[in-house]
Each structure stands twice: as C-alpha cells, then as structure tokens.
Amino acid sequence: MATKVIEEMTRPVFDVNVLRQDFPILTEEVYGKPFTYLDSAASAQKPRQVIEAISKVYSTEYSNVHRGVHYMSQKTTDAMEEAREKIRSFVNASSIREIIFVRGATEGINLVASSWGRRNLSAGDEIILTMLEHHSNIVPWQLMAEEVGASLKVVPIDRDGVLDIDTYSNLLSDKTKFVAVTHVSNALGTILPVTELIRLAHERGAKVLVDGCQAAPHMKIDVRSLDADFYVLSGHKIYGPSGIGILYGKEKLLEAMPPYQGGEEMIDVVTFDKTTYADLPFKFEAGTPHIAGAIGMGAAVNYITAVGLENIAAHENDLLKYGTNKLKGIDSLEIVGQAPEKAAILSFNLTGVHPHDVGTILDREGIAVRTGHHCAQPVMDYFDIASTVRASLGLYNNRSDIDALVAALERVKEIFG
C-alpha cells in the first residue's frame, strides 16, 4: 500500500506510519521485542522500493554495462545511466559528466586525495581539516601530506560542538591549497556552515571537498549553490545499497585530473606504447561497476525525493527536539554535542556506565544504537572520553522509538544502581 502511495505521489502530508510500511525490517522482532532502529547514521534501512529495484536488476535485466550490443546489456546500461541522471538532479550538478560512481564516500575522498593531490600538492602546502571529521576524511589527507611533504591544519570546536569559524579564517593563507570538511558531523550532528567555509577558502584560491554522507539523508544538497569543488556521499546513508556512492566534481577539475585506477571502461585506446583515456565520467570508473548498486541508489534517490527532503527535515527536527528534551530529563545522562544547528543525532553518556554496556542492554530491549568512537576519535579526545552512545534518527522513526529508548535507559540505570 505504501509503495503505491509513494509512487502515485498522492499522500498530502508526511505520515511516518505510512512510510514505516515501506521498510520490511521494521516489522522484525529482536529478543522477542519490537525492533527499534536508532542507528541510521551508520547505515539507513532500505525501503521496499529499493529492494525491489535491486531484485529486478538481477531477476529480469542483468548484464554487464556499456560494452554489449545485445538487448540485456543495453537495457541495464540505460537503467544505470538513468540512475546517474537521477543523482545528478539530486545534488544539482551541471552535467552527468560530473557524477562519478565509486564504492562509497571513502573511495571518493581517496580518489580526490590521490588524483588531485598528487597533481597539485607539494612540499610546504597546507591542507585544512576540522576536528569534526570522520576518519575517512582525515587519513587520506594524512597519507597524501606525508607523501608530498604538505602539512595539515585543524580547525577546533567549542564544548557544544560548534566549529570555530574565526580560527578557520585565520588558518587560511596563501599556503592553503585544499580544505576537506564534513557537512554534518557523524559523531555529534553539528551542521557546519559549509557555504561560508567554501567562500572563504576560494578567496584564498584553495579547493574544497565536502563530505556529505550525513547531510544527504537530512537536507537538500545543491553543489552549485554551495560552490563545492568536490562533494561525496554514500548510497547506504540515503536508504540505498551499500558499496556504492558518488563523487561529484566540477568538470574542469575532473578533466585535469589523472585517472585514479587503470583497467577496462576508463580507457579509449590501449597499446603497449600508450593508452588514452575515456571521457568523463568513465575516466574514473575502471572495471565492472556495482551495477545493481547504482540502480538501487537511483531508486533510493527517487524515494526520498518523493517523500520530500523538506518533509524529512521537519519530521526529524521535531524528533530531535523531542528526544533532546526526553534525554535531558534523565538524571546522570550527559548529551555530548549541543550545537544550535544539528541534524538528528543524539550522542550521550550515562555517568558510571560504559557505553558498550548501555548498548548491550538496549539491544536486549530490541533497540539498536551505535556505541564507540564513531570513526571520529579526535572528537572523543577533545571531550576527554573514549566513546559515546549514539542514537541517530531517520525518516521512519517516531516518538514511540524515543519513548522506547528512554524507558530502556531507565532500565540501564536500575541495573547499575
């Protein structure tokens, strides 16, 4: 029923109870309890529309793409390229030539660090990161800096998890060649002022990559309005399959960059004397791609576009406020990261209880949260903690999920006295 409603675009308002019917896993039980999923920042669950799109590829139209003249190859190629166009529209890129399919945001960042970095960075240059970065937007730049003799500069945050924009501005100099910044912190939920960060970097002639993994499920992305040079996101964060993502890059920059990997698909002509390369976007897509993943990601984009990013944002903001107030009412619970501009992420700790113990007890109550450093150890170091419990919300969550979390946390307190 929900599938039909979404496809016909007849639902007048956002109805979370209708939308939940699109997600088969939400009807499951864990240890005899209703399954409450509060780990969407790690990976979002998949709607039936995405599952069916992937199944259709393998059931009725699978073949390799771009190389065959037979019917199935052309049909699959068309479906994959239609997905590329959907994603181009989703981020408002100028051309499909600017949309590169990668295994995920991590590969997209590594591609830029390797290809753009080796061509443009040298000894003495500076790369600016923020303290809020996921490891995937730290380590590739460390590796490249070590290789070429560049150095990293880090923008600090305050105790609410807000970026120090004045320090960022002061760090920018003629030595700054690149800025890599998250759009939304996966550990705290802080929404960064990326438009301003990009503008200031461009005034110094630096290029900017934005990690949009945590932004894309929650807000409308417009790479042209942001003026981002590069933007990455992963399919599994936006209710699509894992193992697929996109790198957006300005066409002029991508044209000037050397290939990241060699193989089939990214070539034009190969001889033992010289190889010439395919046009964008295929220059950066060596080998057989994750065909079903790309098509599934296109279906995920269709889904959240039909639901409406504005509707999703409003719903999640309501849940965030509700959840924040509920958690603040629990004695001995501290919320880590309370920036005024936040996405739907609640990180917290209970005094005297290890986060892993909290997560284990919540699991026995059917509640899935994430515990640990969330691939953001510098953030944990700043707050002088090893880890947090993170409850992250998606479009399918409701107030009952928050109530279940609060009740289970009270159970944790009872156990630990």
- Could you give the CA distance from residue 89 to residue 86 in angstroms, rounded to a whole number? 5
Residues 282-307: b if buried by 16+ CB within 10 A, e if exposed: bbbbbeebbbbbbbbbbbbbbbbeeb
Pairing type for strands 207-211 and 33-34 reads unpaired
Contact, 168 vs 203, CB < 8 A? Answer: no
* Contact of 327 with 350, CB cutoff 8 Å: no
Residues in Cβ contact with 286 at an 8 Å cutoff, skipping those fewer than 6 apart: 259, 260, 261, 262, 263, 264, 265, 266
Amino acid at 28: E
Neighbouring residues of 88: CB distance < 8 A, sequence distance ≥ 6: 95, 96, 98, 99
**By 3-state DSSP, what share of the chain in percent is helix, strand and coil, each rounded to 5?**
45, 20, 35
CA distance 347 to 334: 9
Q: Sign of torsion, CA 275 281 282 283?
A: positive
213 catalytic per annotation: no
Q: Please, what is the angle between helix 355-364 and helix 399-415, to 10°?
A: 120
Q: DSSP string covering 266-297, please?
A: SEEEE-SS-EEEPPTTGGG--SS--HHHHHHH
Task: Please pick, among 154, 375, 385, 386, the residue that the annotation labels catalytic.
Answer: 375
**Would you please indicate which residues are annotated as catalytic (active-site) residues?**
375
